[in-house]
Amino acid sequence: MASPQCCANAPTLNPACGDGIVVDDLGGVRAYTAGSPNSKLAVLLVSDVYGDVLCSSLKLPKIADKIATCGFFVVVPDLLYDDPYSADNPERPISIWIRSHSPDKGCQDAKPVIAALKNKGISAIGAVGFCWGGKVVLELTKSGEIEAAVLCHPSFIKVDDMKGVKCPISILGAENDHISSPELLKQCEQALSLTSEGSHIIKIFPGVAHGWTVRYKTDDAAAVKRAEEAHEHMLNWITQHVKKEPTSLNGEQSEEGDRRFMLDIARLLVHSGSEHSVFAPHPDPSDPTPTARNGSSIEAPEKKLTLFAFRLGILEKLASGLGTLAFVWATVVLLGGFASALVTKDFVIVTVLLVTESTRIFGRSHELEWQHQAAWTTPEGAGRSSFRVVEDVDGRRTWRSRDVPLLPFAGWIFVSKHLSRGLSWLQLSSALACVVFSLIRLIEQDYGEVVGRDRRNLSPALNLFYGLALAEALIFLLEKAYWSWRISFCKLLEKVSRECDLGEVSIRRFFYDTYSKCIEGSVFDGLKMNLVTFAKELLVSELRDEQLIGVRVLHKLATIDRFSLDTLRKIGSSTRTIERLVEMLNWKNMGEEEEIRMRAAEIVSKLAEKRRNVLRVAAIPGAVEALSSLLVVDDTSDFNLLGLSILEKLASDHEDCWKIGNTRDLLPKIIDLTSASETLLRNDHAADSQIRTVMSSLQVLKKLVSTTGYIGQILRQEVSEIVFTVSNIREILQHGESHMVLQKLGIEILKSLAMDESAREQIGSTGGVIKLLLSIFFEPGFTEAENSLRDEAGEALALLTLESRKNCDRILKAKEVNRLMEALTDAVLQINASRILRNLCAYGGAECSRRLSRITAAMPTVLKVIMEAKERLLEASIGLTTEICKFLDPDEFAEFLKKAGIEEADLVVKLVQVLKEYRYPELRVPGVRRVVIEQAIWMMRSNRDSIQLFEQLEMERLLEAVAETTSELECFHIFSGGVGLSRHSKTLSSLVETALHLLAAED
């Protein structure tokens, strides 16, 4: 767990940074990089909880620059997504912050960064973690993805965490560390001795405390020296264990190094021009990389009110100070020391002035209270009880403070705004009285004759009192004049209200709140106020009226483009506010609660557009259950759309997908909302909200079933087990011809579900689904959208027929083989048509051999395509040729070559060229080398003359190169993100051995 020592000595912001550059997107995160990008060695630095990698005194950029001078390419990724821990935010202590940024999550986010580095040709990677980052790096040591690790004063570690460490590791501890104490580190060393697969060392630095390697003060020579000692040890360890791969004599990377070589995924996808295919791996989707905010900012309109309140506060404080001094002077000096010496006139006037000043003080102290109430009430409620008890729909009793008469049945006189006005006039009268009486006495100066020592100082004392009273009254009148000028004449409140596009009630209430802070506390307190802070305070109130004002203000600011970014950032940094908004999603009473709930849902929807806010919302206990309460089947309200919109954004995170799947009755609700009847789909006048609800539910379902890894597998099983899933999609495919977006989403869901073998059979056995997909696939396409839909249908069919004899049989019974063969010449359909035909040949079964034999007629067409095609079409065409050849004898194959106008030698040359082109596994076409070798094996077995042709073209050398660069990438039919599914029955290595054996047999 986190300790106070972990958050002690927080860094101060410092715009100075290192000499490296900032990369906007490296493995999905922003990162500071230093050193040559051409280096084959890299070091990953993972920060502590204060991890702003660009501008903090953590000195990580400087440390990165230092490591880079030793020939490393150094990366400092922002694994906290621009959301470092802030010790100045009491609403979000470390125990709350860590829920959104667990070390395990940091480890998962670091893996794409490592993958991106390896894709760029990095051959060896070391990692260094500080505090929180130490635990992240410790988890990375167990994945086998790094070559060495250094943990600097790590947090959250336990002795059991040492199990499974697979690389050399060094742990640097502090003598005065309560988090990772020397005793704990010694136990860790013993555990490493028993379980670690690599060397290890644990070093305790004397006289230092937790965080000493990155939180030292540069003006403390001793602290700098101790930090540099740790840096030197760290660098030596990295240099010793992160080494270059052996190189060959010609300077090229060796075959061992080639095994690590992978192409840049991002570059391939940018140039692909299409969406991800399940037949090739791809990175998990991520949010746009956070970027620094623009230096220019829009001035908040409410700043005019805060400055106005600040100036009024200064005048009020000055007037009150002078009034207090005059009051004390009168009571202590005049009435206390000169009471018997005062003439009757002065005694009466001093007494009157004291009474009027007391009246003004009373009126001032209570005016603001009534101004608060008058700011959002009307006189309509006069004569009613101050606080009405209202019975809600569900029987709960709630208080509403609309109009506040002082006494029941007292009429409009006691309405709050009239009381406020009366108190204001009372103060004004008191001030005018002070001015009149003070001026009269200061002009007259007839304070009586000076007789005796007790009257000698009376005249100066009275002059001072009258002067103070006059000054105080004049300042107060100046304040009132300034108030009236700005409020009544300049219409300041109305002007700000228009600029903010908010109601005058909200703006008036904000002004009085700000003014109250200036008066009741420090005059500078009001300057800290803004509309967002004001709304957040009202949001947590227990009064519905105040909650309504608060949520209206937040909603308006969050939906206005020029204010939304700053507003959402402030909301996102307040756990208390997010918890309140999530709580409001559960409110189901009609009236004001319904409006509050609607606006709260819209705010959460806007908030969830940023990944870091998604994590914060999902971390709130009961958040997903609250979102589930927004979904009501057979209801066309906007709550369904808002709930689905938020769920879709949450579904971008794996852990949140798991929460959605585990929330009771949520998956069935989402699937029920995908239901669209024929009447709805074919009704040109159907309500737009109904179509949007179906589309949103399909989008959420698509994200859930396309989740990668183990979580995705479980979600696909749960979704496929709900009996309405496939049947609802079937209705959309059958009747939704005028809603291609819905059809495409439905097909994409079927594709994801079909990645699981059991779901393939379930989809195929649902009556009409395969026929509908075939119908869409063969439907003529005239627009890009129509062709995209046909392509999705073809890919779904290719998946459904993969390793599924029953689904292959269903397509063969549909008698569409001839149309599939015709599609081999259609530029839009030929890739998937080739895949479907290949699957029919490979998995159709022996009983279908007669019907499958017709496919051999397509051989000339396929051979022609092979000679011209590239990438995915080339891979699919060679794969189809290999399967068709199983139905041919050598003579028939030769005849088809002749019909295609191709010599066998030309085909051999093409196959060899493909192997030369794809020296390494290719992400876009992971199976291309496999199908080339399979085709070569068939040709060498069927015609020994072809063996000589392959030998002449140095096929043996190419096969040996393939054997040295084989990868898991080439072992699977399909992929879920970067995870391979449906493994090939034969390994690529065994195919290479077979081909080499055939070549050797000829010798």
Does residue 415 carry a pLDDT above 60? no
Least confident of 159-173, 321-335, 512-526: 321-335
Looking at per-residue confidence, does 14 or 839 come out higher? 839
Does residue 151 carry a pLDDT above 90? yes
- Residue 538 tokens read as 């009202």
Q: pLDDT tier at 945 (50, 70, 90 boundaries)?
A: confident
Does residue 403 carry a pLDDT above 80? no
CB under 8 Å to 90, separation ≥6 — which residues?
none
Q: pLDDT tier at 126 (50, 70, 90 boundaries)?
A: very high
pTM over 0.85: no
Torsion of CA 152, 155, 159, 164, to 10 degrees: -70
Q: pLDDT tier at 255 (50, 70, 90 boundaries)?
A: very low
Share of the chain above pLDDT 70, in %: 83
- Residue 437 tokens read as 């009486």
pLDDT of amino acid 874: 92
Q: pLDDT tier at 809 (50, 70, 90 boundaries)?
A: confident
Look over the chain and give the mean of its residue pLDDT values, rounded to a whole number.
80
Nearest to 977 by CA among 721, 716, 618: 716
Does residue 256 carry a pLDDT above 70? no
How far is Cα 568 from Cα 367, in angstroms, rounded to an integer? 35
- Report in angstroms the alpha-carbon separations of 993 from 476, 920, 984, 987: 99, 18, 16, 10
Does residue 398 carry a pLDDT above 60? no
- Residue 656 tokens read as 């949140």
pLDDT of amino acid 468: 85
pLDDT of amino acid 814: 79
Q: pLDDT tier at 481 (50, 70, 90 boundaries)?
A: confident
How far is Cα 760 from Cα 744, in angstroms, rounded to an integer? 18
Mean pLDDT value across residues 728-733: 92
- 330 and 477 Cβ atoms separated by less than 8 Å: no
Helices (H), 844-954: 849-852, 859-868, 871-884, 890-900, 904-917, 928-942, 944-952
How far is Cα 523 from Cα 317, in angstroms, rounded to an integer? 8
Number of other CB atoms surrounding residue 721 within 10 Å: 12
pLDDT of amino acid 266: 32
Does residue 353 carry a pLDDT above 50? yes
Looking at per-residue confidence, does 767 or 273 come out higher? 767
Pairing of strands 124-130, 41-46: parallel
**What are residue 127's DSSP bridge partners?**
44, 149
Q: pLDDT tier at 979 (50, 70, 90 boundaries)?
A: confident
Summarised one tens digit per residue, pLDDT across range 603-659 is 999 988 887 888 888 888 888 999 999 898 877 678 889 999 999 998 888 888 888
Q: pLDDT tier at 89 (50, 70, 90 boundaries)?
A: confident
**What is the three-state SS of 236-301?**
HHHHHHCCCCCECCCCCECHHHHCCCCCCHHHHHHHHCCCCCCCCCCCCCCCCCCCCCCCCCCCCC
- 582 and 604 Cβ atoms separated by less than 8 Å: yes
Domain layout of the chain by residue ranges:
4-253, 262-284+903-1003, 303-449+460-513+524-544, 610-707, 723-800
* CATH, domain range 4-253: 3.40.50.1820
CB under 8 Å to 798, separation ≥6 — which residues?
279, 832, 835, 836, 839
Residue 905 is which amino acid? A
pLDDT of amino acid 742: 92
pLDDT of amino acid 831: 92
Most confident range (mean pLDDT) of 317-321, 460-464, 841-845, 885-889 is 885-889
**For 371, phi and psi rounded to 5 degrees?**
-65, -40
Q: pLDDT tier at 240 (50, 70, 90 boundaries)?
A: confident
How far is Cα 309 from Cα 529, in angstroms, rounded to an integer? 11
Mean pLDDT value across residues 559-581: 87
Summarised one tens digit per residue, pLDDT across range 514-557 is 888 888 888 888 888 888 888 888 888 888 888 888 889 898 88
Does residue 150 carry a pLDDT above 70? yes
Does residue 248 carry a pLDDT above 50? no
- 586 and 571 Cβ atoms separated by less than 8 Å: no
How far is Cα 463 from Cα 467, in angstroms, rounded to an integer? 6
Nearest to 988 by CA among 906, 908, 929, 916: 929
Q: pLDDT tier at 371 (50, 70, 90 boundaries)?
A: low
- Residue 386 tokens read as 């101050």
